[in-house]
């Protein structure tokens, strides 16, 4: 199941300590750069810093940590949470955020770092846990990877190498086993068994026991996923995660208030 020919995968150490260190080396500086850019350039970082960034950092840290070898759920959540914690330490060191603001943000940021894997963990222990579909429809979200226009040479080549690996299918299959969808489902399908594809994407009853990305039993044979097939879910989104028209103005004024 591992993309052995990927340059990115080959650079990740096999050992738990080495892969954890590399995941933090990758995510923490990137998170700091995004936070600094949001504050000093865009002057708007409220939603991005406290919601989107912790989730993306935790997700990326766990993904890099487990790309070479299956890791325990507890260790993946630990690495994800550590990446967000180190981001907070870095922000304090750069005097971007105060201690009290970061303490208030941690109850939001740390659960987001765990995200859907936490639900997968609960189910793998035999505890009923449901993503409840609402009659009004779903609230959807998504994210993209984009190259900065100033990159060239080796840096740009590294970005496209990572992007090609990210969309090759392994990552899509990994997150599918946690309930997420890939923007390239045909590639993800190459790394899923027919039974997994039927369960996660087509919404069919599980032909076999369903396991999470780490090989732990999550759903028994015959069960179906909440909400049904991808077509039923994506065709029933009531709203996408977004912000109001006044978001930039309100965030800028809030930033001025807390920094005064």
Q: How far apart are CA 197 and CA 175, in angstroms?
A: 12
Enter the tokens of residue 70. Answer: 């299956």
In three-state secondary structure terms, 15 is: coil
Residue in this structure with the two tokens 């990210």, named with its chain if needed: 166
pTM of the full structure: 0.52
**pLDDT(97) > 70:** no
What pLDDT, on a 0 to 100 scale, did the predictor assign at position 3?
Answer: 47
Q: What is the mean pLDDT of residues 208-212?
A: 89
Name the range with the highest mean pLDDT among 33-47, 98-112, 189-203. 189-203
30-55: per-residue pLDDT in tens?
A: 887 877 776 666 655 556 666 677 77
If phi > 0 it is left, if psi is from -120 to 50 it is alpha, else beta; for residue 175 that is alpha
In DSSP terms, which residues pair with 139 in a beta bridge?
239
In this structure, of 28-37, 88-97, 110-119, 222-231, the range with the lowest mean pLDDT score is 110-119
82-107: burial string, b at 16+ Cβ within 10 Å, e else:
bbbbbbbebbeeeebbeeebbeebee
Q: How confident is the model at residue 2 (pLDDT cuts 50, 70, 90)?
A: very low
By percentage, how much of the chain surpasses pLDDT 90? 17
């Amino acid at each position: 199941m591992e993309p052995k020919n990927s340059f990115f995968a080959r650079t990740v150490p096999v050992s738990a300590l080495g892969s954890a260190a590399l995941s933090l080396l990758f995510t923490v500086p990137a998170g700091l750069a995004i936070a600094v850019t949001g504050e000093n350039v865009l002057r708007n970082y409220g939603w991005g810093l406290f919601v989107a960034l912790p989730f993306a950092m935790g997700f990326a840290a766990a993904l890099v940590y487990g790309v070479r070898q299956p890791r325990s759920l507890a260790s993946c959540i630990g690495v994800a949470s550590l990446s967000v914690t180190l981001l907070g330490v870095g922000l304090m060191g750069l005097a971007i955020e105060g201690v009290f603001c970061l303490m208030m943000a941690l109850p939001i940021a740390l659960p987001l770092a765990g995200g859907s894997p936490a639900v997968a963990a609960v189910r793998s222990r035999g505890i009923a846990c449901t993503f409840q579909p609402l009659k009004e429809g779903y609230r959807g979200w998504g994210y993209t990877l984009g190259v900065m226009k100033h990159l060239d040479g080796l840096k740009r080549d590294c970005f496209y190498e990572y992007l090609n690996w990210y969309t090759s299918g392994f990552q899509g299959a990994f997150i599918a086993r946690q309930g997420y969808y890939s923007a390239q489902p045909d590639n993800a399908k190459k790394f899923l068994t027919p039974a997994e594809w039927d369960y996660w994407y087509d919404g069919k009853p599980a032909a076999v026991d369903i396991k999470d990305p780490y090989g732990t039993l999550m759903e028994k044979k015959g069960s179906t996923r909440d909400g049904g097939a991808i077509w039923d879910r994506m065709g029933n989104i009531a709203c996408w995660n977004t912000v109001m028209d006044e978001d930039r103005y309100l965030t800028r004024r809030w930033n001025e208030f807390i920094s005064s």
